[in-house]
Amino acid sequence: MRRRLLLFLVTIDFVLVCAFAYCWGGGLVQFLGQNLSLKFYNGVLNLYVPGVLGAQEEGIPNIYRDVTASMYPAIAQNEQRLWYESQEENLAYYENQAAEENEQAKQIIAENEKAVTQQPVQQESQNVDETPTQKESKKPEKKTEASGKKVSVNRKKLQDFDYLRQTFYQVDNTTTIGKNQLDVDKLMKPDLRIDQSVDGPQILIYHTHSQERYADSKDEKTGVVGVGDYLTELLEEEGFQVMHHKGEYDVGDRDHAYSKAAPSIQKIINDNPSIQVVIDLHRDGVGENTRLVTTQNGKKMAKIMFFNGLSRTTASGDIPYLKNPYISDNLAFSFQMQLAAAEYYPDFTRRIYLKGYRFNMHFCPKSMLVEVGAQTNTFEEAKNAMEPLADLFAKVLK
């Protein structure tokens, strides 16, 4: 009898233990996994930066991931794939953004025209030390080339960080930027003129996303690569030696295009030390109801947008394995192009877009990513936009 009772009690205990394990086992395993992961990150930090541990809260903060990734390339590669290659467009967001940009552009033009009317002489005196003198070109003007400044931008207002940021920039929520980088004096200081006396290509044009097309595109020649062909032709007419690389890096796997393009672009630059400017030409993606169209000197064309990667995320700060020693130079290049566009071709450009990753802009100081219109533009509109763009490059680089 006692044995039966003992067996019954043991059976009851066993059933209770199994039920407990079934109900709570999953949570226990998850807890143990997190605890082991936390100990792993703590071990790395304790080895390399022990002073950080005392200041951290519980959990696995982003700094743990950054430091660990910098020590372990496999983790870095995984994080880079998640952060660096994530390019999906939020169409509703960009549609609202484009509408907002159009309204702000109208306001900016109105303000600058008012400034020109009220203080034309005073504006010129303010600008003497802030902008390099442009050489007068004796070449015959193209149909879309501006004969002179149409708008005089108020440089004193650009000293105001908030005004500069709101007027010239669109900052993605993945990143941040401060006064130390958006300082108009620093942005205008670099002399961006290139040495045109060197033999070999001076400007490289390529396309990370070579398969990007327009509303009426039929093939590569009527897509973004065809736009690059026309820009190459126009820049050569300006006296530059240009290489147009047509490598395909987004065929079958668009998400890893930047990683795939990087080795090829680096090799081209290594093999051609005369290259001083690198242009990655793209086509943007917007809502289907958005049309990025402007008229310059009577010709309809797509609006363009200059783009900068800051290698910095809002959540964790600078990304240690996406270093770019030329961020300040990249920012100066896009700003001087944007300023020239505002003065010579008002409403031609959208605001400079700043995002948190690198986008292969670390190859040289004068690296630039340009978005030419969007999928709702026609090829002709995109092609027409290359005429003022080539003129702007000539104004900044000569």
CA atoms of 22 and 11, how far apart (whole Å) = 16
- Helix (H) or strand (E) run with residue 69 in it: helix 62-71
- Please name which of 149, 169, 111 lies closest in space to residue 391, comparing C-alpha atoms: 149
**171-225 pLDDT, tens digit each:** 999 999 999 999 999 999 999 999 999 999 999 999 999 999 999 999 999 999 9
With beta carbons less than 8 A apart as the criterion, state whether 379 and 222 touch.
yes
Strand stretches in 72-210, DSSP E: 169-171, 203-206
With beta carbons less than 8 A apart as the criterion, state whether 307 and 283 touch.
no
- Helix (H) or strand (E) run with residue 130 in it: none
CA atoms of 314 and 176, how far apart (whole Å) = 6
CA atoms of 141 and 395, how far apart (whole Å) = 13
Q: Which residue has the higher pLDDT, 49 or 23?
A: 23
* Two structure tokens written together for 29: 């395993």
**257-315 pLDDT, tens digit each:** 999 999 999 999 999 999 999 999 999 999 999 999 999 989 999 999 999 999 999 99
Cα 277 to its chain centre, rounded Å, is 16
pLDDT band at residue 250, thresholds of 50, 70 and 90?
very high
φ/ψ of residue 382, rounded to 5: -65, -40
DSSP secondary-structure letter at 203?
E
Q: Does position 125 have pLDDT exceeding 60, yes or no?
A: no
Helix (H, G, I), strand (E, B) or coil at 324: coil
Q: Does position 29 have pLDDT exceeding 50, yes or no?
A: no
pTM above 0.85, yes or no: no
With beta carbons less than 8 A apart as the criterion, state whether 339 and 112 touch.
no
- Provide the pLDDT for residue 63: 47
Q: How many CA atoms lie within 13 A of 297 on its CB side?
A: 16
Mean pLDDT is highest, among 28-32, 44-48, 331-335, for 331-335
Lowest-pLDDT range of 90-104, 241-255, 281-295: 90-104
- Provide the pLDDT for residue 354: 98
* Two structure tokens written together for 55: 């200041």
Q: How many CB atoms lie within 10 A of CB 147?
A: 8
Place of tokens 């100066």: 332
Q: Return all residues near 167 (Cβ < 8 A) that are at least 6 apart.
A: 104, 108, 157, 158, 351
* Two structure tokens written together for 31: 């807890």
**In the predicted model, what is the mean pLDDT of the chain?**
79
b/e sequence 149-158, b meaning 16+ C-beta within 10 Å: ebbbbbbeeb
Q: Return all residues near 302 (Cβ < 8 A) that are at least 6 apart.
A: 292, 293, 294, 372, 373, 374, 377, 381, 382, 384, 385
With beta carbons less than 8 A apart as the criterion, state whether 374 and 284 touch.
yes
- Residue 307: strand pairing partners: 353, 369
